[in-house]
Amino acid sequence: MDREVAQPGRVLRSGRRGRRFESSLPDHFPEAPENQRNLMVLIGMIDVNPMTKSGSFFAVNTILSQTGEKMATITKRKTGWSVQVRRQGFAPRSKTFATKSQASVWAREQESQMDRGELPSRKRLSSVVTLGELIDRYLEEVTPKKLSRVSEALRLSKMRLTPMCDLPIAMLYPTQITCYMDKRLKTMKPATVKRELGLIHHIIETATREWDLPIVSNPVKRVRQPALNNRRERRLEVGELELLLGALSTNRNPYIRPIVLLAIETALRRQEILGLTWQAIDLGKRTAHIPVTKTGKPRTIPLTDVALSILHELKGDETRLFPITVNSFKHSWRRVQKRSGLLDFRFHDLRHEALSRFCELGLTIPELSLISGHKDPRMLFRYTHLRADDLASKLAGRSWKMEQKRVGRPSG
């Protein structure tokens, strides 16, 4: 049986009950582009359910995706009418308007500009957009959602002034990234430079995945990362705690001393301590809830007897335990360092000290991770620095055979 084929100038359409009939093309149709002619002919050959029109909907969307011609999509949102124009070979464009008519007019204007070649194509887009423009958009859309938004905004603002940011993404090669890295390593520590490279990497990945920018490959992936050697084993030595307490006693800010002592008893980070509220403290259960953490996962920690006594003596406001700013604490801590003579002792080292003390008290790795918030035991080992001489004292006068005999087991 011969198949019925649509000839140029006529379209096979579906009528009621599936009966087919011919329909002449409009007068203006022969001048339409070839892909649009094929699109209309194919749509006419689809059998449409006259009740649901589901066949027509499926056909139009399928054929549009196959031909690469996508019409504008207009959607009602809470903030207005959102329109998105997507066409193969061009970057998607979107905007929100107060009325649907305004959205339709803008969509037609964008499609007309694409037809006339007035908008940059996807192939040209990466040759036009610079790294600095990506940083500007990242600062506006992504950075404000992060906990580290203040420090990240400062870091990106400084990075924005470098010559590398004036280069188009298509001209950004690993060579430029390496030159930036080598120059920064002369004045900054490897950990800082590695964070900056990670930030550039994430900006380019965001532009590729979420902003639909045609970037062939991320140049940061092909750059050798700086070697890190930032392991710290700094703990309070004999007599240093007394020096620290003496310097704290002369500080005029009444919150600095309890903050330092609480850090030793809880292993909390600076930002976690400054963010503590009375609502998060349960004196009956002897716990403190930390809703905002570095890892993004809330946790609840136990409170020692010393930590409870510190909390009982506090005279904070009705909401926060320590109603001071981060900068205020930084300035006070620098003065404590100078007065105590412990210039190489950082506040974060108190977290090392606390976790090491908990480990020496016999807490297991799972128990330590509950306090510290680490999920990876390897990361926890970085903060748990046991002294070899302390372990030697534990092993002094002990042997495996003696322990087996003590518990009543054969030593073999």
Catalytically annotated residue among 257, 270, 351, 352: 351
If one counts every other C-beta atom within 10 angstroms of the C-beta of residue 38, the result is: 15
Biggest distance spanned by C-alpha atoms of the chain: 105
Dihedral (CA of 50, 52, 53, 54) sign: negative
Residue of 138, 180, 255, 383 with catalytic role? 383
The type of residue at 182 is D
Rounded to whole angstroms, the Cα distance separating 174 from 389 reads 47
Catalytic residue among 184, 194, 257, 269: 269
383 is catalytic: yes
The H-or-E segment that residue 81 falls in is: strand 80-85
Residue 202 among the catalytic residues: no
Structure tokens at 297: 């996962």
- Would the CA dihedral through 243, 246, 252, 258 be positive or negative? positive
Given 108, 294, 331, 375, the catalytic residue: 294
d(CA 412, CA 232): 42
Instruction: Return the sign of the alpha-carbon dihedral for residues 44, 50, 55, 60.
Output: positive
28 catalytic per annotation? no
Handedness of CA 35, 37, 40, 41 (dihedral sign): negative
Please give the Cα distance from 90 to 86 (Å, whole number): 7
Q: Is 145 a catalytic residue?
A: no
Cβ proximity of 225 and 185 under 8 Å: no
With H, G, I as helix, E, B as strand and everything else as coil, classify residue 75: strand
150-167 b/e (C-beta count within 10 Å ≥ 16 → b):
eebeebbeebbebebbee
For residue 292, give the amino acid letter. Answer: V
Residue 269 catalytic?
A: yes
Active-site entry in 108, 123, 285, 348: 348
**Distant-in-sequence, close-in-space partners of 39: CB < 8 Å, separation ≥ 6:** 63, 64, 67, 69
Establish whether 348 is a catalytic residue. Answer: yes
Q: Which are the catalytic amino acids?
A: 269, 294, 348, 351, 374, 383
